Structure 1
Amino acid sequence: MFSYEERIRAVELLIQYDMSYSTTIRELGYPSQRALRNWYSEYSLNGDLHKGIITEAKYTEDDKRRAVDYYLKHGKCVSRTVKKLGYPSRPTLDKWISQLAPGEKKHCRQGGITIKYSHEQKKQAVISLCLRNGPAKKIADEHGASRESLYRWKKQLLKEEHACFMAKEKTIRPGKVSENKSEVIKLSAEKEDLLSKVDQLKKEIHRLKIERDIYEKAAELIKKDQGVSIQTLTNCEKAIIINALRGSHQLKELLKIIKMAKSSYHYQVLALKTDKYAELRAMIKKIFEDSHERYGYRRIHFLIKSMGTRVSEKVVRRIMKEEKLSVIYNKRRRYSSYKGEISPEVENKLNRDFQADKPNIKWLTDITELSIPAGKVYLSPIIDCFDGLPVASGISTSPDAELVNTMLDDAVTTLSEEEHPTVHSDRGCHYRWPGWIERMDRAGLTRSMSKKGYSPDNAACEGFFGRLKNEMFYYRSWKDVTLEKFIEEINEYMKWYASERIKLSLGGLSPIDYRRSLGLLV
C-alpha cells in the first residue's frame, strides 16, 4: 500500500506533466498505470485523496451512499462506478447495493441483461436438455438461456441431487441396512445384465449395418440380376466391395462379415492393380524377340531410350526378370587348332592393344567349333578392331587350310591398294602353313601371333565367339537340324551382327551403321 504523501505526490506530478502517465511512472518508479488513473479520478471528484488505507470498516455511510447513488444514476454499472470513484472493490460495492438498494442490482453481460431464473425454471430446462431430440442450442433458445448456462445448471442440479441422495443414505435406520443391501445387490445385478444386453444389441446393430452396406455396395458395383449373396461372391468381387467400404468401416470387421481371409484380400488387391509398365513391358518383349533373344537389359534399355521413352535401367532389368527374359550363357571346351611349332615364331605386334583409329589397321582371326547332333561346323571370321565388324568369314565342316585361306582371300578383296593391315591370330597350324603365309606376303599384310596358351592375347576375337555362342547357339535345341540349315543360321547371324546388332561402344549403332555415320560407307 502507498501512503497518502506518495499518492498525492504522484497525482500532482501527473498534472504537472500534462497527464503523461508513462513519464510520471518512469520518474517515480510507482505505481501501475491503473492505480494512478484511479487516484486521479478520486482527486478530480473529491479535490483530495483519502488518507490511510481503505478498508470496508473505514467507509462511512456517506461514502457508501455516494457510491450506491452514483451506481443508480449512471447506468447501474459496477465497473464504471469503481473506476470513477476509485473505491471500493467490486464485491464490496455489490454488498452495499444489496444493503442500501435491494432489488436494484443489474446483471450485465455482452448482448443485454441476464434474466434471473428460478430453481424450477432451471430444473425444467435441464430436463429438456437431457431428453432433447435436437441440438442443445435449440433447447437453450426455447428457454431463453445460453447453451453454456444450460450445461452449468445441469452440473449444479446433479451435484444437489447427489448430495440429497447421500444425506438420505446416512439417515437409513440400522434395522433396514441388510434389507437395503440385498436390494441394492439385486438391482446392481439387474443393471449389469441390462447393460450387457445393451452392448450386445449395439454390436448386433453395428454388424447388421455393415452387412447392409455390403449388400448395397455389391448391388451397386457388381449388378447381378438374380440378387446378391455373400456366399456366392468370388474373392475378386469381395475385394472390390471391401475397397469401396474401407473409408467407412474397419478392414477387420469387413473381412469377418464378408468371410474372407486377409491374405486373400491383399492378393486380390495386388491383382486388381493396373500395371503402369504394361506398355513398356510389351515393348521390352518385342525388342527381346526381335533380337532373337540375344539382347540383355543394357542394350534393350538403350533402344528404349533411343525411341524417346525415359525409363530407368533398373526398371528394364526388373521387368525382364519378371517376364523371365534372360539371355542364356554357357561356357564349353573350345576347339584347339594348335599342332606344335611347325614354322618359325612370329612376334606379337598388337600386345593386347585392340584399339584402332580407322578401319583396316588391325584385324583379328581365329577358328571356333560349333557342335550339333547332325555334326560339327567350324567358323573362321576376320574381325576389324576399329568397330568389331566381321570383314569376312568362312564356314566349313572341316577345320582345314581351305577354310582360312578362302576367308583371307575374301577379306583382302575389301582392301584398297594403300591398306595393309596387321592380321593377328593364335598359334594354330592354319596360320603357319605355307598357303597362309604366301597369301599374307602377296597382299602385304603383317603377321602377328599370340603366345602359346595365352587367350587374352586375342581377347577381342574370343569375345566375338562368346557373344555369338551365347546369342544364337547355347541352350537352343538343334535336334533334327541339318548341317546345311545350321550353316544358314550362322550366316544369318553374321549378317545381323554386322548390320543390325547395336553396340553401346558405338553409340547404339551397328558396325555398318557406324561406318555410314562416319561417311566410310555409302
Structure 2
Amino acid sequence: MLKKSGCIFCERPKVKYAAILDHKGQYSIKTMCKALNVARSGYYQWFNSPESSYEYKKRVVKKRILDTYEEFKARYGSRRITEELKALGYSCSVNYVAKIMHDSDIKAHNGKGFKYPKRSLSMNNVSDNILWRNFSASTINEKWTSDITYIWVKDRWMYLAVVMDLYSRKIVGWALGSSMTYELIMEALSVAISRRGDTENTILHSDRGVQYRSQKYIDFAHRHGFQLSISRRGNCWDNAPMESFFSRLKVEMVYPNNFQRIDDLKSGIFEYIEIFYNRKRRHSLLNYKSPMEYEEQLKVVA
C-alpha cells in the first residue's frame, strides 16, 4: 500500500498529489486520496494545473535556500545549506542545492579552511609538544588549544584571544583587547575555566608566542591543573584547529563587515562566536553538527 514518507514535501498537498500520480494504475484515485488525506477535487485541480511536482519542489526549496542563505549571513555554502534543509525535513542533495544557488547567483563568502600537510611532520624538538598534532579528544576538557589573532578596525589593530575545546571545537573562552599581552590570554582562559569547571590534567596547547611563555601565564595555568603543550618554533600546523577557526572568522565575519568602530567589532564577535559558531554552525568534523549539539550528545550517552 502507498506509504507516507518522512520528507517534508510529502506533508504538502501538491507532493501528495504527485505521489498519487506516480501510483496511478496500481490503486484507485479514491483509495489513494483517502490514504493520504487529500480531496479528490484538489488532486484533479492539481492534475490539470501547469505547475509540475518538480517545479513546485524547486520553487519551495529555492525559497528555503534563499531564506537560509540570508539567515546565516552568506556564511553557508551548498553543503551546509543542504544539512540545514535536511534538518528541517527537506529531502535534497548537495548538487541540487548547489545548482539552485548557482542559478540564483549566490555563494558563501569564499575562503578555505586551514589545512596542514601531514607529510611535513618532523620529529625534531618535540619534547614540549604534548599534543603533537593529535587534535582528537574523547571527552570535553581533555584537550584545549589557545591562540591570538589581530583584526584591523578603522585605524588600529585589535587583538582577539580564544580558547577552544578540541572535543567539540567549541570556543569556551575569548577576550578582545587593544594590546597583545599575557593579560589578554589570561582573561580568555579565565572565562573558559569559569564556564567549564574542572581542568585538572587538561592539556592546554598554544604556540610559542611571548604571551604564552610569560611566567605569570604559566603559573596561572599550573594553579588550575593544566598540562601545558607548546608548538614547535615557526610551525603553525601544530595549532591547525585554531588557525582554521581564525581563517573562518575573518572570511565569514570580519572581512564582509569592514568594521569601523570597536563596539561594532565586539558585537560582531559576540554574535559570531556565542550565537552562530557555538550554537548553529555545522562542523564537517562533527558530522555537520554544531559544537553545542555535539556536546549534548555526550550528555545523553553519559
Same fold per TM (> 0.5)?
yes
The 8 Å contact of residues 405 and 435 in structure 1, kept in 2 or not, is answered as no
Q: Deviations over 1:131-162 (max 9, x none)?
A: xxxxxxxxxxxxxxxxxxxxxxxxxxxxxxxx
Q: Distance in 1 between matches of 2:197 and 2:154?
A: 42
Deviation at 1:413, TM superposition (A): 2.4
2:295 corresponds to 1:518? no
The 8 Å contact of residues 193 and 199 in structure 2, kept in 1 or not, is answered as no
Q: Which structure: larger Rg? A: 1
Deviation at 1:520, TM superposition (A): 6.9
C-alpha RMSD of matched pairs (Å) = 2.4
Q: Comparing both structures, which one devotes a greater share of its residues to strand?
A: 2
Structure with the bigger RCO (C-alpha within 8 Å, sep 6+) is: 2
Deviation at 1:308, TM superposition (A): 1.8
2:284 corresponds to 1:509? no
- Give the 5 Å matches for 1:172-211: none
Q: Distance in 2 between matches of 1:282 and 1:515?
A: 31
- 1:352 maps to what in 2? 133
For normalisation by structure 1, the TM-score amounts to: 0.43
Aligned counterpart for 1:458 among listed residues 217, 239, 258: 239
The 8 Å contact of residues 199 and 225 in structure 2, kept in 1 or not, is answered as no
Q: Deviations over 1:299-329 (max 9, x none)?
A: 1011112222221211111111222221223
Q: For the structure 1 residues 418 and 439, does the alpha-carbon distance in structure 2 shift closer, same or farther, using more than 3 Å as the test?
A: closer
The 8 Å contact of residues 109 and 251 in structure 2, kept in 1 or not, is answered as yes
- Give the 5 Å matches for 1:415-494: 415-417=196-198, 419-478=200-259, 481-494=260-273
For normalisation by structure 2, the TM-score amounts to: 0.72
AA aligned opposite 1:474:
Y
The 8 Å contact of residues 141 and 199 in structure 2, kept in 1 or not, is answered as no
Q: For the structure 1 residues 308 and 423, does the alpha-carbon distance in structure 2 shift closer, same or farther, using more than 3 Å as the test?
A: same
- Give the 5 Å matches for 1:399-410: 399-410=180-191
- 1:182 maps to what in 2? none
- Give the 5 Å matches for 1:64-79: none
- Give the 5 Å matches for 1:60-459: 277-329=58-110, 347-417=128-198, 419-459=200-240
Partner secondary structure for residue 89 of structure 2 = coil
Q: Distance in 2 between matches of 1:282 and 1:463?
A: 31
Q: For the structure 1 residues 482 and 301, does the alpha-carbon distance in structure 2 shift closer, same or farther, using more than 3 Å as the test?
A: same
The 8 Å contact of residues 381 and 392 in structure 1, kept in 2 or not, is answered as yes
AA aligned opposite 1:460:
P
Q: For the structure 1 residues 360 and 325, does the alpha-carbon distance in structure 2 shift closer, same or farther, using more than 3 Å as the test?
A: same
Deviation at 1:511, TM superposition (A): 1.2
Q: Comparing both structures, which one devotes a greater share of its residues to helix?
A: 1
Q: For the structure 1 residues 296 and 406, does the alpha-carbon distance in structure 2 shift closer, same or farther, using more than 3 Å as the test?
A: same
Partner secondary structure for residue 293 of structure 2 = helix
Q: For the structure 1 residues 374 and 346, does the alpha-carbon distance in structure 2 shift closer, same or farther, using more than 3 Å as the test?
A: farther
Q: Distance in 2 between matches of 1:360 and 1:328?
A: 32
Q: For the structure 1 residues 284 and 417, does the alpha-carbon distance in structure 2 shift closer, same or farther, using more than 3 Å as the test?
A: closer
Q: Deviations over 1:394-437 (max 9, x none)?
A: 11122112111111222222344473311111110000111111
